[in-house]
Structure 1
Amino acid sequence: MSFGDLNRVNTNVQSMNSQFSLNKINRDLSNNQLRMSTGLRINRAEDDAAGYSIAAKLSSRIEGLDRAMQNVGDAKSVLDIAETGIDKMMDLLIEMKGKATQAANGTLGETERGFIADQISALAAEINEISEQSIFQDISLFGGTDGENTGALELTFQVGERSSDTLTVELTALNVSNLFAGAGAIDGIDAVPAAGAAEMGSLVFDTFDGDTFNAFIDVVDAAINTLAETVNEIGISQSKLSIREETLSTAITANSSARSRIQDADFAKEQSQSIRLQILQQTATAALAQANAGPQAVLSFIR
C-alpha cells in the first residue's frame, strides 16, 4: 500500500487508503450483521460455493425425510383404524360363537334357538357396520378392491426419500359375505351371498335345530381365523413402520447436524468479530479524518 507524499495535495493517497480500508471494514461488518440476523454462515453462494451446494442437497434430503416421517405416521394411523375395526369384529365373532354353541345344545327348544338366531343375525349386521365405518380419508379399509366389498385393498406407503422406499399392505375385504361364505352350504341358513359377491351379505336362519348351529360353529371358527391372519399381517406391518420411524428420525437428526455444521453461524465467533470490526471502523474513520486534514498543512508553506 502506498502512503504517498504529504507535500502533494492533488492526490491524497492517505485518504484513498483510509477510504479503502473503511469500505472493506463496513462491508465485513454488514456481512457479519447478516450472519447474526439470519443465524447462517452461508447466506449466498458467494459466501462458500461448495458449502452452499452441499447444504442445499442436505436440505433437500431432510425435506424428503420429514415428509416420509409424516407418511409413516399416516400409515400407522391407517393400520390402527384397521386393527381397531378387526378387534371389534373379533369380539362380535367370539360372542357369536358362544351363542351358536349355546343354541347347539339339545336342551333348548326351537323357540329359544329362534331368539338366539336373531341375536346372531344382529351381530352379523354389526360386523358389516364396522366394516363400513372403518374409513381413512374416504378410503374404505375393508371395502376390498375399488370399494366393491370383494378382493383386497392394496395400499402402498412412501416411507422414505427414495422411490424404492415403499411399504405395501393388503387389507382383505371383511364383511358377512366373505367371513361367512361357508354358511351358505349349511341347511337352515340362507341369504348369504357367495364369497366374492359385491353385497356385504347377511345371515338368515330358516330352521332352528341343533345341527344347524353345530355346523355354524365351524364357520365362525373359520371367520375368526381369517381375522387373526389379517391382524397378524397388520401387526407385522406396524412393526416395520415403527422400525422405519426410528431410522428416519436418526437420519433426520444426522443430516440436520451435518447441515448445521456447514451452514449455521457460530454466534460466539460472530459476536467477537462484530466487536473487532466496530473498533476497526472507529479507528479507520479517525484515520480517514486525519488523512483528509493532512493537505491543510501545505497551507503553512504559502503563508
Structure 2
Amino acid sequence: MVITHNINRMKVTNKLLKNEKSLLTSMKKISSGLKINSASDDAAGSSISTKLKAQIRGLARAQINVQEGIHLSTEMSNSLNLISDNSLIRLRELSLKGASDTSGTEDREAMQNEIDQILEDIDSVADGTEYNGKKLLIPPKQTIYIQSGANAGDAFKIESFEVKVFDIGLGGINVSTRGNAVEALDKVDTAIKKVASYVGEAGSIEEGLQYFSGKLAEYEQNLTSSNSRIEDADLAKESLDLAQRNIITQATQAILAQSNQSPESVMELLK
C-alpha cells in the first residue's frame, strides 16, 4: 500500500486548477465583453480580428476624408453659383442694354463702371475660393486626390477650375458702343455656358463623394459586424458557463477535502 503519495488528491488538484483557469477566463470575457482577450484565447480569430480592425479604422478615416472632400466641392459649387447666378447674369443684362441704341453716353459710362466692378468681383470670388490653402478656381489647374478608402488604391480625383475673368473670356469687355455691347453679349453667353458646365461638374463631384460616403458607412458596418462575431463574447452563454464552473469548483474542492482525509485515516490505523 502506498500512503505517502495521494494520487487521487493530485488528480483532483489538477482538475481544480484547470477549472479555476477556465473560471478566470469566463470572468474576463464577461467583464470585457470580449471572447478574445489575448491571442492565446483564439490565435486564428485574433489574427483575423486584427486585420478587420485595421480595415475598420481605415474606413473611419476615409469617411472623414470624404466628408472633407464634400466640403471642398461644396465650397467650389457655392462660388461657381455666385459667379453664374449673380455676376454673369447681371453682365448679360448690361450687355443687352448696351446693345440697344436707346442707351446714351452717360448710360454707357454708368453701365461700364458697373461691368468693371462685376469683373473685379468675379476675380475676387475666384481668388478667395480655397480649402485648407488650396486654391480651387484660379490657374493653374490642379488635381486634388481624396483618399476615399482603407487601401492605397482607393482615391477619388477632383479637378480644380479656372474662372478668373480672362479664363472665361471676359477680359476687356465694354459697352461703349452698340457693336462692343453685342460682342460683349456673345462673350458673356459663352462664359455662362462654361461656368454652367463647371457647376455641373462640381455637383457631380459632390454627388460622387456622397455615394462614396454611403458605401463606406455600409462597408464599415459590415466589417464591424463580422469582427463582432469573431471577437465579442456571448454574455448569456458565458454567464451560464461561469455558473457551471462555480458549481464544478465547489464540488472539486469538496472532493479534494475528502481525498486529503484518506491518507490520514490509514496512518491512524497503523498507530
Normalising by structure 2, report the TM-score: 0.91
* 1:157 is the counterpart of 2:146: yes
* 1:126 is the counterpart of 2:94: no
Structure-2 residue corresponding to 1:44: 38
* 1:173 is the counterpart of 2:162: yes
Structure-2 residue corresponding to 1:149: none
Structure-2 residue corresponding to 1:60: 54
Structure-2 residue corresponding to 1:196: none
Structure-1 residue corresponding to 2:94: 99
Alpha-carbon separation, structure 1, partners of 2:146 and 2:188 = 33
Q: CA deviation at 1:128?
A: 1.5
Alpha-carbon separation, structure 2, partners of 1:226 and 1:286 = 90
Q: CA deviation at 1:8?
A: 4.4
**Residue deviations 1:26-76 (CA, integer Å, cap 9, x gap):** 100111111122222122222222222222222222222222222221111
- Deviation beyond 6 Å, 4+ runs, structure 1: none
The amino acid of 2:18's aligned partner reads K
**1:155–1:141 CA distance, 2 compared to 1 (3 A):** same
Decide whether the 8 Å contact of 1:114 with 1:208 is kept in 2. Answer: yes
Query: Aligned to 1:249, which of 200, 205, 217?
Result: 217
Where 2:151 maps in the other structure, the secondary structure is: coil
Decide whether the 8 Å contact of 1:155 with 1:169 is kept in 2. Answer: yes
Structure-1 residue corresponding to 2:4: 10
Alpha-carbon separation, structure 1, partners of 2:268 and 2:147 = 84
Alpha-carbon separation, structure 1, partners of 2:139 and 2:259 = 87
Alpha-carbon separation, structure 2, partners of 1:276 and 1:61 = 38
- How do 1:1-303 residues align onto structure 2 when only pairs under 5 Å count? 8-90=2-84, 91-145=86-140, 152-181=141-170, 183-184=171-172, 189=173, 205=174, 208-302=176-270
Where 1:180 maps in the other structure, the secondary structure is: coil
Q: Which moved more, 1:157-166 or 1:93-102?
A: 157-166
Alpha-carbon separation, structure 2, partners of 1:242 and 1:43 = 37
Q: CA deviation at 1:299?
A: 4.2
Decide whether the 8 Å contact of 1:8 with 1:295 is kept in 2. Answer: no
Decide whether the 8 Å contact of 1:92 with 1:127 is kept in 2. Answer: yes
Alpha-carbon separation, structure 1, partners of 2:194 and 2:220 = 39
The amino acid of 2:242's aligned partner reads S
Alpha-carbon separation, structure 1, partners of 2:65 and 2:154 = 11
Alpha-carbon separation, structure 1, partners of 2:195 and 2:179 = 25
Where 1:155 maps in the other structure, the secondary structure is: strand
- Identity, in percent, stands at 27
| Structure possessing the higher relative contact order (Cα contacts under 8 Å, 6 or more residues apart) | 2
Could you tell me which runs of 5 or more consecutive residues in structure 2 were left unpaired when the two chains were aligned: none
Q: CA deviation at 1:250?
A: 2.0
Where 1:172 maps in the other structure, the secondary structure is: coil
Where 1:160 maps in the other structure, the secondary structure is: coil
Where 1:260 maps in the other structure, the secondary structure is: helix
Q: Which moved more, 1:99-108 or 1:78-87?
A: 99-108
The CA RMSD measured in Å over matched residues stands at 1.9
Where 2:45 maps in the other structure, the secondary structure is: helix
Decide whether the 8 Å contact of 1:76 with 1:241 is kept in 2. Answer: yes
Q: CA deviation at 1:81?
A: 0.6
Alpha-carbon separation, structure 1, partners of 2:105 and 2:244 = 100
Could you tell me which runs of 5 or more consecutive residues in structure 1 were left unpaired when the two chains were aligned: 1-6, 146-151, 190-204
Paired positions, count: 270
Where 1:179 maps in the other structure, the secondary structure is: coil
